[in-house]
Structure 1
Amino acid sequence: MIKTLVYVALILIGLCLSPLIIGQSGYIYIAIGDYQIETSLVTGVVGLIVFYFALQLLEWLILLLLNIVLSSRYLPEQWRRKAAKKHTLIGALALAEEDWSAAEKAMAKGAEKGEIPVLNLFAAARAAHYQGDITARDHYLAQAEKNPIAKTAVYTSRTRYLMKQGELVKARVILDKLNPTSKSSAPVLKLAQELYQQQHDWQALKLLLPILKKRQLLTETDLNQLSTKTNSTLMLNAAKNSEVELNKCWHWLNKSERKQDELVLAYAHGLVQYGHKDQAIKLISKQLSASPSTALFAAIPDLISAQDQDIRKLLSRLETTHENDADYQICLAKLSVQSRDAKQAKIHWQNVCRIAPTHQSWLALAQAQEQLGENSTAAHSYRNAANVM
């Protein structure tokens, strides 16, 4: 547009100046070898302008001719690319509708001349997987793997597909090729977490947890639950192996982890197993003094005996603050049964039935009442137990 405006401006300027130029005509003489050109200045200028426009017209004709020739030569390729776009669109719509057969066929065709064939291959592999065609799925992934950029994505997809098939060992082999580290992508780390959990490889999961925490791939609640489960399982497994492994596992825990009820109880059970009951009771007493909890109340009757009076005294001090705590009352009731104190057991089971009555608590109360010869009240408790079943 600007070029055309310049031409128009030059023409207008020429029209305005032409009367002045005609009145003072110049003279041009050009000699080239045996050829001579002699003309006026106005004619020469007009001739140059005409020659310039002739060159522009020739250039336009040549470019037009070249475009026609080239477009006709590469026209089939353009048709194929256009068809690939169409197949890709059809495949994407089929994926959205979960029409896996149509999606696989369309995406496979679109991959032949598509702009990004790797995406088509991954989509075709997914469609083949949902149809249960493992051979076709692996074929598409193998084709996608030829692109170096897609190698990690191919391994990730293979691992996930094998996990869905239940082939955990094969999935682990491929995952190990990805070598999950702090530098790995979030999908790889999440995949590693899922596979380690399914394989119950708690040691590998233990090493992965700090990375998951640093990258904030899990919520704080989920991370704490997973960390507690991992550490407690490792503690129980270590206790099955040897006392040395048990102590080593305990000392691997950080200060905050050693204050968690589940881990304290797991370590205490291990200590009792290897004949260190006094150390276990001391550890539980310390935990009970710091933060009484449901987990501690539930575990104490299984860890102590009638001769362990110190922890019983510690529990009795909590009666004012935990009078209406059903778990605390159940703990005292079981300890009373352990000491063969039916009268005290009856009192605690009555408190449990008052706070949070259950079938088991009514049965336990009825048994305590029978031991004391209170047959009528025991029958009433049995009826209550039947009513809450």
Structure 2
Amino acid sequence: MILFFYALIALVVAAGVAVAIQYDSGYLLLAYGQTTVEMTLWVAVAVLAVFCFAVWLLFSFLRRGAKLTDRLGSLRSERRAQRARLQQHRGVVAYVEGNWQKARRLLQDAAHDGEGPLIGYLLAARASQRLGDDKGVVQALSRAEHCGVRADVAVALTQAEIQIERGQLEPALATLSRLRSRADRHPAVLGLLARVYRGLNDWTGLRELIPELRKRSLLADNDLASLEELALRGEMRNLQQAGDAAALKQWWRQLSKGDCQAALLRDYIPALLAVAEADEASNLLRQAIKMEWQDDLVLLYASIDDSNPQKQLSTAEGWLKEHGDSTTLLLALGRISLRNELWGKAREYLEQAHRVAPSAAVCFELSRLLGNLGETDAAAAYLSEGMQLQGQQLPSLPQPRG
């Protein structure tokens, strides 16, 4: 219907033009310098129409050519991006498989073609690290820095991890310290800092980091407790090695009561003894045993060379009311009696412990005591029994007869 309408209009226009031409053909003169061109008006109109049609046709061809060029360019870009994606995929697979040389080449090519450049350069840096190519690491990280506004954090974290793997802990600490203020947004900084502090034996730094690790739930509660205990033991060891008794006791008083001190008590007592604080160790153990009876603490109490061994003995004898059948307590009393040079009392406690439950430690103590008292046969018998209880008895072999 529309085509018929257009055809009707064209016929009407043609008829009108034909009538106009018959009525008056018109006259057109064009002059330029010595040149003149003469034609009828309607010929001039026809020439102008042809010219306009030619111009329209030319622009139409140019526009279509531009669209074709854009399509070709888009097709090339798409194919290039597809090739880059394939290279990146193959590069990641090679990286996981440990083919570092191939992985680095594919990842760098993919990054150069614009497919995930930051990821590509970061993994390429790690592959260079595996290859021991320090120059390659620097080049890959340098290119990664120019991949976006937030690339600096990812680059710094990758650099710190590589430094840690190389054992360059102090440079890694410097790198991570610059990112410490961004830990709220990048918790991985704290995890890496914990590794660096452990490697540097910076127990104070590690201990100060634990509240932040706990706040952001970066580790399980058990792992955090183990890490905190490790840091505290390290601090205590450093104070012990420094020989500063006052600083060591002040450090202990600042610890939280309960689980923290209970877990460290067995290490703290030897630390006190190492800095000549035997009386402080005795007092602390008396308090701990009063709160909760533990056999190993009783033996530890008996091993202390207290400045007042009489008080030490009377305190331990006071525990007999509730723990009179404890072989551990009887052994401890025997040893404390030896420290008081009460040979008869020491023998009584040790023999009573042997009657309740013989053990290698009790037998060896009796053997040593009786040997020094001149009872060599009894000492030899206890020594043999102690070796058997300890699992060190001699095999049955023929022996010469006297």
Q: Which residue of 2 aligns with 1:338?
A: 339
Match of 2:381 among 351, 355, 377: 377
Q: Deviations over 1:180-232 (max 9, x none)?
A: 67625332111111111111111111211111222222333332233233234
**CA contact under 8 A between 1:297 and 1:327: conserved in structure 2?**
yes
Secondary structure, counterpart of 1:218 in structure 2: coil
User: How far apart in 2 are the matches of 1:114 and 1:388?
Assistant: 72
Q: Which residue of 1 aligns with 2:81?
A: 81
Q: Which residues of 2 match residues 306-317 of structure 1 at below 5 A?
A: 307-317=308-318
User: How far apart in 2 are the matches of 1:224 and 1:302?
Assistant: 30
**CA contact under 8 A between 1:91 and 1:106: conserved in structure 2?**
yes
Q: Deviations over 1:232-254 (max 9, x none)?
A: 43244345264553354234323
Q: Which residue of 2 aligns with 1:266?
A: 268
Match for 1:218: what amino acid?
L
Matched, 1:127 2:131: no
Q: Which residue of 2 aligns with 1:72?
A: 72
Q: Which residues of 2 match residues 232-247 of structure 1 at below 5 A?
A: 232-238=233-239, 240=242, 242-247=244-249
Q: Which residue of 1 aligns with 2:251?
A: 249
Q: Which residue of 1 aligns with 2:136?
A: 136
User: How far apart in 2 are the matches of 1:308 and 1:375?
Assistant: 26
Q: Which residues of 2 match residues 295-306 of structure 1 at below 5 A?
A: 296-297=297-298, 299-305=300-306
Q: Which residue of 1 aligns with 2:53?
A: none
User: How far apart in 2 are the matches of 1:344 and 1:262?
Assistant: 34
Q: Which residues of 2 match residues 121-200 of structure 1 at below 5 A?
A: 121-146=121-146, 147-179=148-180, 183=184, 185-200=186-201
Match for 2:114: what amino acid?
G
Q: Which structure is larger by alpha-carbon Rg, 1 or 2?
A: 2
Residue 385 (structure 1) shift: 6.7
User: How far apart in 1 are the matches of 2:195 and 2:228?
Assistant: 14
Residue 166 (structure 1) shift: 1.5
How high is the TM-score relative to the length of structure 1?
Answer: 0.70
User: How far apart in 2 are the matches of 1:280 and 1:202?
Assistant: 24
Q: Would the alpha carbon gap of residues 262 and 153 (structure 1) be closer, same or farther in structure 2, given more than 3 Å must change? A: same
Residue 365 (structure 1) shift: 5.5
Residue 178 (structure 1) shift: 1.7
Match for 2:144: what amino acid?
A
Match for 1:380: what amino acid?
S
Q: Which residue of 2 aligns with 1:49?
A: none
Matched, 1:201 2:220: no
User: How far apart in 2 are the matches of 1:65 and 1:90?
Assistant: 37
Match for 2:292: what amino acid?
S
Residue 138 (structure 1) shift: 2.4
User: How far apart in 1 are the matches of 2:184 and 2:327?
Assistant: 48
Q: Would the alpha carbon gap of residues 67 and 246 (structure 1) be closer, same or farther in structure 2, given more than 3 Å must change? A: same
Q: Which residues of 2 match residues 196-235 of structure 1 at below 5 A?
A: 196-235=197-236
Computed over aligned residues only, the root mean square deviation of the Cα atoms, in angstroms, reads 4.4
**CA contact under 8 A between 1:103 and 1:124: conserved in structure 2?**
yes
Q: Would the alpha carbon gap of residues 364 and 167 (structure 1) be closer, same or farther in structure 2, given more than 3 Å must change? A: farther
Q: Would the alpha carbon gap of residues 153 and 335 (structure 1) be closer, same or farther in structure 2, given more than 3 Å must change? A: farther
**CA contact under 8 A between 1:301 and 1:334: conserved in structure 2?**
yes
How high is the TM-score relative to the length of structure 2?
Answer: 0.68
Residue 308 (structure 1) shift: 3.0
Q: Would the alpha carbon gap of residues 280 and 365 (structure 1) be closer, same or farther in structure 2, given more than 3 Å must change? A: closer
Q: Which residue of 2 aligns with 1:94?
A: 94
Q: Deviations over 1:249-269 (max 9, x none)?
A: 234323336742525863784
User: How far apart in 1 are the matches of 2:386 and 2:281?
Assistant: 38
Residue 290 (structure 1) shift: 0.9
**CA contact under 8 A between 2:91 and 2:103: conserved in structure 1?**
yes
Secondary structure, counterpart of 1:378 in structure 2: helix
Unaligned runs of 5+ in 1: 1-10, 15-29, 36-59
User: How far apart in 2 are the matches of 1:228 and 1:252?
Assistant: 15
Residue 317 (structure 1) shift: 4.7
- Aligned pairs, number: 342
User: How far apart in 1 are the matches of 2:246 and 2:364?
Assistant: 43
Q: Which residue of 2 aligns with 1:40?
A: none
Q: Would the alpha carbon gap of residues 298 and 109 (structure 1) be closer, same or farther in structure 2, given more than 3 Å must change? A: farther
Identity percentage of aligned residues: 20
Match for 2:255: what amino acid?
L
Secondary structure, counterpart of 1:200 in structure 2: coil
Secondary structure, counterpart of 1:148 in structure 2: coil
Match for 2:208: what amino acid?
L
Matched, 1:290 2:294: no
**CA contact under 8 A between 2:309 and 2:336: conserved in structure 1?**
no
Residue 155 (structure 1) shift: 1.7
Q: Would the alpha carbon gap of residues 145 and 133 (structure 1) be closer, same or farther in structure 2, given more than 3 Å must change? A: same
Secondary structure, counterpart of 1:77 in structure 2: helix
Secondary structure, counterpart of 1:207 in structure 2: helix
**CA contact under 8 A between 1:84 and 1:113: conserved in structure 2?**
yes
